[in-house]
Structure 1
C-alpha cells in the first residue's frame, strides 16, 4: 500500500512538472524542470526496485542531458517564440486524438501486467532463475544486475552507450560549428569596421 501511494504521489509530481514545462516560455526553467522530471522518474524507479534503471535515468536524464541543454542555451535566445494564434478546437484535435488513443492503449496494456514483485510473473520464471544460478558460478560476477547489464544484455548496453555518446558528440559538433561561425562573423565585422575607419 505504501509503495502504491508513493508511486501515485511521484506520478502526480511528474504531471505537475510536465504542466510547468508546457506553460513556461523561458528556456532555463524548462531545462531545470526537465532535470527535475528525470530525478523524480529515477525516484519512482527506485521505489519499484529497478535501481539500475533509476541510475541510468539519473545519470543520462538529469546529468548528461541537462549539461548538454545548458551548453546549447549559450547559443539560443532566452525565451521561446510566441506560438501562433490557436484556430479553435480543430487546431489541436489530431494531436488530442492521438494522445487519447495512445493513452488508452497504454492503460489497457498496464492493467494486464502482473503485479510488481509477483513471483509467478513470466520474467521471474523464465530467465531470472538462470541469471541467479549462473551469475556466481559460471560468470564469476557476484552482482546479478552487473551480470545482466554487462554479459547477458551486453550488446544492448553497448548500443545504449553508443546512442548516448553519438547524441553528445552531435551536440558538441553543432555547438563547435556555431562557435566557429560566430567567431568568423565577429572577425569579418571587426575587419569591416577597421576598413571603414581607415577610409574615413
Structure 2
C-alpha cells in the first residue's frame, strides 16, 4: 500500500474491514483523506508532527510525536502507510481496553525488546509532560515525569534502578492506577 492509488481494492477493503472497527464507507473516506494529505501514500514523521502539533498548541509535542510515530510505524519503514495508519486509528479510537494497552506498551517499548525499563518509561513520560505543558494540574506525587515514572514502578513493586516491566505487568498497572484507564479512553468515539 505504499503507492498512491485513488481507491482501495476490494481485497484491501475486505481485509481492513475485518482488521478494524471501521465500515467500508468510513475506510474509503479515511483513504481519500489520507491520499489528499499524503499523495505518495506515505506519511513521514515530519508531516505527522505538523498535524499533531495543531492539537497541542500550548505544549511541545515533538518528542511525544516521535514515540507515537514509532508505534504507528509497525514495519519500521520510516513512514506510515494507510494500513498502519488506519489500524492504529482503529485501536486508539474504537479498540477495547486490552488493545489500547498493548498499543500503549508498544509506544513505551520503543526499543522493541518486549520490556520497559525506568529510563525508557521516563523518556516517554517526559515527552507526555512536555506535550501537555501547563494544561493539566497533577497531584504532588506525580507532578514531574520522574515522580510519575517512579510511582508506576513502585506500584508494581519494581525497583526503578534494576527492574523492567513486561506487557503483562504493564496491564497490571491498569488495575493499580485509574489515570491510565482515563488516558486510554481519551480518544473513544473521536472518529
Give me the TM-score of the superposition, normalised by structure 1: 0.25
Larger Rg: 1
Q: TM-score, normalised by structure 2?
A: 0.26
As a proportion of its length, which structure holds more strand?
2
Give 1 or 2: higher helix fraction.
Answer: 1
